[in-house]
Structure 1
């Protein structure tokens, strides 16, 4: 890249790190989640969130939205939500006349940057399908025209407690998300005490206002993301390492991986997809960029491998019920067993 482009990437790196710092002040006890969301933004990938009720998923997304600018939209998943509800809103006005207004996907136009679908597994598959198309193409057809939101990043979370009237995401749907992030309740006693007793953390609106607004020109996120991908290179040895990791998701037994009380010959239904490995490399390049390097090292891959792969390895039905346990164990074993250059 040209010197001007290199300087621009350096300026953006400083701003990206500043965003991470500022959001981390508002959302304490979640440094890994904050870092990975920041990576996803610059890798231009969507994120699936999991976590207990009240751990701060909405707060962290609103904080990022304020920091990067553009518009924020939130939709609640319900069993009676229809695909059209994302596109338009119908109502009767004060004069008794029917009206149609743009829905949550359309009302912001190209200013839509952060779209949060809360409890996506409460929405029917038809609604999920519309969202997946919007994620893949960042366009929606409505009212005889095409609407574009080229800067949009989609975040979705799943209700893990109630199972009635829920519709789990299909494997192909999960594969559309770059990361699956698990936000746990902080375990550090000092952080738990602050969250429980410090009034500063009891008013989320006021808390988010502490994050500086518009720290970067969000309209250039796609351009900068492409610049990062073009500027960070991978050695031949690093490429072989990534391909070996990929093969281990498809045939862990051949990589010498063993998990207690699991027949490894019957565990895997499908390994990571080409899209998944592409997402892994894109995210790792952002990790390298944030570290000030223009080349990949194994640590960059390992930093994002669990969050990129844990939802992309699919088990046979006999083991799928143990997914939460087995996926983490498998990913950890792959990183341990596959030799890094």
Structure 2
């Protein structure tokens, strides 16, 4: 893959962003971050209130990516086997075992959407964790591989009854945790409320070009981006200081209201997490037409890539929704950029 191929793919990526922004109003940042995750070959966890457009965003992405698409609903009675196969009675009255959501498209599965993942049991999370980590599962005495797979999940942050929070190991497998909120501009609110095209999700996403990307080439492209986009020594030092601040925020003068920051962090971001930060920053630089990472690229993806990876002390873990993102934002404010 040469430089002209990279530029052609960048134009496709920007076209993808433009098409999706037409169908999900007020989500420019969420669209950009989702695009970054797609080309960094990372999985995405969307978090937001009910009805803000998380599913619409993912349906638009799935349409543009092409390949196989499957969706499953998280429920308290969902079992790991429900992702792999299901049974039904055939016309002859005999039970039949049919491929489930993960196996329907085989190795051509490119987008797997897990809706309301926090309603599913830990056993289901465990299967999903292996799928995300190894891009494979075992079933029917054989190994099934998914070389082009991106996992997208969303979490309902409003309802807490009959839900199971994701363990730290599962959170760390998501490249990004992206907050999706309803727009606040009156014109956008008016369009969402009164324009009929926003009332039918299936028809709304039709203008998004189908199969705009070739999912079988995304891995090759992602590897090329990581080799092409460089990082200066000054940028590398800045990245290390950001990492240190996730481990010892008090040493960098970080404060949060009603929180003893010196006793807040159990473990900072993992090495894998910080490597993923750099992967995302390189893709962001590529989308902006740069061949080197600048501080703004790290800052653009830092909160969504790092906040969910910081392990808090047990006394604060129950308040993660209130603390983790502000902590990451304060790190960006307090650590001097080159």
State the TM-score, normalized to the length of structure 2: 0.98
How many Å separate the matches in 1 of 2:176 and 2:74?
20
SS at match of 2:2: helix
Q: Deviations over 1:244-291 (max 9, x none)?
A: 000000000111212232212211111100111011000000001001
1:193 and 2:187 aligned: no
1:291: which partner in 2?
A: 288
Q: In structure 2, the residue corresponding to 1:173 is in which secondary structure?
A: helix
Query: For residues 261 and 59 of structure 1, what CA distance do their matches in structure 2 show?
Result: 37
RMSD over equivalenced CA pairs, Å: 1.0
- In structure 1, what is the Cα distance between the partners aligned to 2:195 and 2:316? 43
TM-score, normalised to structure 1, is 0.97
- Aligned-partner SS, 1:229: helix
Match status 1:60 vs 2:65: no
Map of 1:142 onto structure 2: 139
Partners of 1:205 and 1:315 lie apart in 2 by: 40
Runs ≥4 in structure 1, deviation > 2 angstroms? Answer: none
Is 1:133 aligned to residue 167 of structure 2? Answer: no
Alignment of 1:240-259 (within 5 A): 240-259=237-256
Return the alpha-carbon distance in structure 2 between the equivalents of residues 260 and 28 of structure 1. 33
Per the alignment, residue 300 of structure 1 pairs with: 297
The Cα of 1:325 is off from its aligned counterpart by: 2.1
**Matching residue within 30, 37, 40 for 2:37:** 40
Deviations 1:193-245 (A, max 9, x none): 00000011111111111111111222101110111011111111111110100
Q: Per-residue deviation at 1:330?
A: 1.1
Counterpart for residue 90 of structure 1: 87
Could you tell me which runs of 5 or more consecutive residues in structure 2 were left unpaired when the two chains were aligned. none
Contact 1:73 1:115 in 2 (8 A): yes
- Report the secondary structure of 1:212's partner residue: coil
Q: How does 1:271-282 map to 2 (within 5 A)?
A: 271-282=268-279
State the SS of the aligned residue for 2:20: helix
Secondary structure at the residue paired with 1:310?
helix
* Counterpart Cα distance in 2 of 1:260 and 1:167: 28
Q: Specify every segment of 5 or more residues in structure 1 that has no aligned partner in the other structure, as ranges.
A: none
In structure 1, C-alpha distance between the alignment counterparts of 2:193 and 2:68, rounded to whole Å: 30
Whole-Å Cα distance in 2 between the matches of residues 328 and 57 of structure 1? 19
SS at 1:219 equivalent? helix
